[in-house]
Chains A and B, each alone.
Chain A
Amino acid sequence: MAKAIEVVGLRKSFGRIRALDGLDLTVEEGEVHGFLGPNGAGKSTTIRVLLGLLRPDAGEARLLGGDPWRDAVRLHRRLAYVPGDVTLWRNLSGGEVIDLLGRLRGGLDQRRKQELLRRFELDPTKKGRTYSKGNRQKVALVAALASDAELLILDEPTSGLDPLMESVFRECVREERDRGRTVLLSSHILSEVEALCDRVSIIRKGRTVETGTLTGLRHLTRTSITAELAGPPNGLAQLPGVHDVDIRGDRVTLQVDTDQLDAVLRQISATGVRSLTSTPPTLEELFLRHYEDDLAASGATA
């Protein structure tokens, strides 16, 4: 499969601040790729490099087979972008901005635009300065989704949307994927990435720390298990991959590395099970684990 985005060892500093420190990112054509990281991790900087707005200090970036800096205009005909912080021209109406951005890119599907306006419940006659943050974001989203671009670059596109609109957004992204479009979705909202993305890249401090399919990443996560057993649980704590064991009489709660789940379940069922609940691993935990040392550090200073 061809690569829509290929970034290797990207570095970028602003004065003494190092925003990107050897970042890698690969997005396959036709996939929805989650680009996950806390605020200030370097997501927007990476996207600006991909848009040819910033020139990297070192490293390689390829976008749709071209050089994002040199071939910017040619490549931009094939992509649509929603910035994280949408600012609009104060005296232009939302409808005007949507049409304008479409025309600047080289075309806009008017029927699709109308449909998106309806679905996002956006009034296109309001002036730019009167829109709320969420509505400004909707203007940019409608402009991007109504284009026929093959690549969508969305930088935290739902940060101002209410839950209802967020679900409309999810629907729309799924439709885009079904049409074969590639989506790079930057976010720090885990549930969103979990619901939409085929693969994710997790970055922190300008560096990629994890990348892969969600299923692949789950092997790095832990499942929580709470069980009531027929007798006292024996030897559970000694099994490899078991953490945080808490035994109260016949009740046990523990965490287990997902790839060691099988051995733990055998041991439990050997004792006899009265009841069992297991919580599947979430991206949340995966995410948190990568910031564990951050949390530990902040805990230590506090």
Chain B
Amino acid sequence: MMRTFTGTFTGTPSLVRLALRRDRIMIPAWVLSLAVIVIGTASSISTLYPTEAGRASLAASMAANGSLRALYGPVYGTSIGGLTAWRMGSMGPALAGLMTLLLVVRHTREEEEAGRLELVGAGVVGRRAPLTASLITGCGASLLLALLITLGLLTQGAVGAVAFGLAFGAVGCVFAAVAAVTAQLTESARAAKGIAGALLGVAFLVRATGDAAAPGGPEWVAWLSPLGWAERLHPYAHERWWVLALFAGVIVLLVTAAYALVAGRDLDAGLLPSRPGPERAGRRLRGAYGLAWRLQRGSLWGWAFGYAVSGLVFGATGKGIADLGRTNKSIADEINHLGGTHSLVDSFLAAMINFLGMLAAVYIVQAVLRLRGEESDGRAEPVLATAVGRLRWAASHLVIAAAGSVVLMVAGGIAMGIGYGASVSDVSGQVPRMTGAGLVQLPAVLFVGALAVLILGAAPKMAMASWSAASLTLAIGLYGPLLKLSRWVLDLSAFTHLPKVPTAPATATPLLWLLVLTAALTASGLAALRHRDMG
């Protein structure tokens, strides 16, 4: 009996090695960039708030503001470590959770759906081995992250560093276990990632709700979320180690459930039934554009929903920023630094709409790279063998990528206008103003998309390098001013060249230049695509 049980794990070490080999770039990229962000935050806090008094005043203002508590969580300690734990203590572990859930689904359901697990499963591999290997990989990555963060923050105090590192590691392991369960539910890997990701989003919202509660309010709600536990481990503020037991309990529960589910189902099957599709194509599924729309619409709606929600949240936070500025001079300086000098709220709104613009660059790269996916997976071939020319095929996806970016910026702008306008009773004035500020970001968004088109046309094998363009833009925009990088580095990002609307007036010259460059890059990319081999 014992032998048959251990036998179901046979092959696990080889599968772990396979996963590490396949993710030899992805895991280090995730882990290192998260660690750098956390350690960079600590160093920027120590630069900006070198004195205990300055930090205490920052902490007092932050703790007094409900909308900021919702965004970042409560402040527990006023040391540099304590403020780092406040600033990154919720967003950081959430990102670690995102990493592990993607990893686990990638090595379980995605392998199964692609039919590769069948090949592996026919070898000397136990029934529980693939799930075990993916959990080891996912939890291993998050524990590696925990170790790096601990090492990076050692100078701020060893005990707090261990606790803060463990907050990342524990949340990472919880969402690895969540993904282990969702991977058993659906036949499609995309759906499994979607469900696990949605649960992560819910965990964040639940924590935000609890943290936003006024003193005496339903603060306990935050205890319903693993992200709330991560904060309540109190790194750098009288650590509460027993909170780790909560994590351990949930992980054990979820992993047990995942093993029970994997034991009870067939290969390729999911617990949720897969619905049959229509027998014939609907009226709108015609032409290259109909197909491209069908393939891209799901992702666009998901993004637009995210933009609407975050726009509302950012907008609603604006009023709190204004109150904060009246009580704390140093925060006012910090935000003015990011946005300009006009008015504090406008600087904040400008920084946030700029942030949404940089995220839209990620969207547009992803939408443009659909073309490459279609090509390299062989789905473009049957389409191009019909009366659809290459240019029309490419244009169908590019038009949706560009129009999708417009939709996102308009949705973000309107939502931000509503969120802020409602708090200052000026919805009709703020909505057009913020929508305009959103549209100003578009030339920079489209420019990043055009870079992707050029690479796709001229060097298709390097298409994935387009991601570096998007992430470089995002990294420069988020951390450039904070880390006080030199001017030429900041100039690398198209977003640096945009006018800081709504603080500053929109000037047409940089926008026109970006649009001209965008048109030129797109045209050369398409010309190259037209003359190269496909496949």
Cβ–Cβ contact A125 & B278, under 8 A: yes
Cβ–Cβ contact B278 & A53, under 8 A: no
Cβ–Cβ contact A55 & B533, under 8 A: yes
Q: Within the assembled complex, what's the spacing in Å between the Cα atoms of A104 and B384?
A: 9
Cβ–Cβ contact A73 & B387, under 8 A: yes
Which secondary structure dominates chain B's binding surface? loop
Q: Within the assembled complex, what's the spacing in Å between the Cα atoms of A106 and B387?
A: 7
Chain A CB within 8 A of B485 CB: no
Within 8 A of A (CB), among B504-532: 531-532
CB-contact partner of B385 in A74, A81, A100, under 8 A: A81
Within 8 A of B (CB), among A178-201: none
**Knowing A99-B285, A100-B286 touch, does A76 contact B277 (C-beta < 8 A)?**
no
Chain A CB within 8 A of B295 CB: yes
| Residues on A with beta carbons closer than 8 Å to the beta carbon of B239 | none
Which residue on chain B has the smallest CB distance to residue A96? B281
Q: Within the assembled complex, what's the spacing in Å between the Cα atoms of A103 and B188?
A: 28
Number of residues on chain A facing chain B (CB within 8 A): 44
CB-contact partner of A53 in B291, B386, B534, under 8 A: B534
**Knowing A92-B294, A129-B113 touch, does A76 contact B386 (C-beta < 8 A)?**
yes
| Residues on A with beta carbons closer than 8 Å to the beta carbon of B388 | 73, 76, 104
| Residues on A with beta carbons closer than 8 Å to the beta carbon of B274 | 127, 130
**Knowing A100-B291, A104-B386, A104-B387 touch, does A85 contact B378 (C-beta < 8 A)?**
yes
Chain A CB within 8 A of B287 CB: yes
Residue-wise, chain B 283-302 has the 8 Å CB interface mask toward A (1 for contact) of: 00111101100110010000
Number of residues on chain B facing chain A (CB within 8 A): 39
| Residues on A with beta carbons closer than 8 Å to the beta carbon of B277 | 91-96, 125-127
Chain B CB within 8 A of A101 CB: yes
Cβ–Cβ contact B279 & A93, under 8 A: yes
**Knowing A48-B535, A85-B378, A105-B386 touch, does A125 contact B276 (C-beta < 8 A)?**
yes
Chain A CB within 8 A of B322 CB: no
| Residues on A with beta carbons closer than 8 Å to the beta carbon of B188 | 90-91, 129
Cβ–Cβ contact A95 & B280, under 8 A: yes
A11 → B minimal CB distance (Å): 14
Chain A CB within 8 A of B218 CB: no
Within 8 A of B (CB), among A48-89: 48, 51-55, 72-74, 76-77, 79-81, 83, 85-89
Cβ–Cβ contact A96 & B187, under 8 A: no
A16 → B minimal CB distance (Å): 16
| Residues on A with beta carbons closer than 8 Å to the beta carbon of B282 | 96
Q: Within the assembled complex, what's the spacing in Å between the Cα atoms of A101 and B281?
A: 10
Residues in chain B within 8 A of chain A (CB atoms):
113, 187-188, 190, 274, 276-282, 285-288, 290-291, 294-295, 298, 377-379, 381-390, 531-535
Q: Name 9 A/B residue pairs within 8 A (Cβ), A-sorted.
A: A72-B384, A81-B385, A83-B378, A87-B377, A90-B188, A93-B276, A93-B278, A94-B277, A129-B188
